Amino acid sequence: MIAEIGERLRDARRERGITLRSLAQDLKVSPSLISQVENGKTQPSVSTLYAMVSHLGISLDELLGVGESSPVTPSAPPAREADASGVVQRAGTGPVLEMENGVHWERLAAHPGGAVDPLLVTYDPGACSSVEGKMMRHAGVEHAYLLEGELTVQVDFDTVVLHAGDSLQFDSVRPHMYTNHSSAKVRGIWFVIGRREQASGPPAPESAAPERITSAVDVLSRMDRLRPTQ
């Protein structure tokens, strides 16, 4: 999957006529890092991935290969029965995105352009929602239910540890950060509602300053703006 994502990033860069060195300069990273990501030799960090997809204008579906004729992963199980189109997403068939800091997203069944972003999120031991340890904020209301493990959540100046069976909700404009300080994996279901409201309205002029992308949900929002109209 790392190699496939790297190939898609490289193809998008070439299609736009952007050189590897120019992209690295714009993103303020080394050309060797871009090359390693494109060749599938390393996983991009969250911040590097955000920067690349935003600069190249790639949608989440394009990055994950959703809609391609071949399966997203070789191990994807065959359909066990006919499903109503767009209703059921079989176990193990959802697109998955893995990041350097040990955070894994699996996109759950969702209506394209809908009001809710459903994600199965996994935090490896020591993983954090921000590589730099900075708190993030974004539009929408965040809901989560922890399936297993212990996850430390910081919202504003408050810190609490969630355990399996605990749930949370808060306005995502409040600064927040998730960290797995334990030695076991953490898994949970996340629903972010209304984050697309920040994408409504007329597009910003080209001369406007670039939007700062600071969270896992912000990159999904940016991708939605770049998704072509069906």
Residue 206 covered by a domain = no
What is the number of domains present in the chain?
Answer: 1
> Which residue segment(s) compose the domain that 103 sits in?
2-72+95-195+212-226
Nearest of 88, 122, 116, 117 to residue 102 by alpha carbon: 122
Residue-wise pLDDT for 2-50, tens only, equals: 678 889 899 999 999 999 999 999 988 899 989 998 998 887 766 677 6
Q: What is the pLDDT at residue 225? A: 53
Residue-wise pLDDT for 114-157, tens only, equals: 678 788 999 999 998 877 677 777 667 989 999 999 999 999 99
Residue-wise pLDDT for 175-226, tens only, equals: 888 999 999 999 999 997 875 444 333 333 333 444 554 455 555 555 555 4
Residue-wise pLDDT for 202-212, tens only, equals: 333 333 444 55
The CATH number linked to 146 is 2.60.120.10
Q: What is the pLDDT at residue 103? A: 87
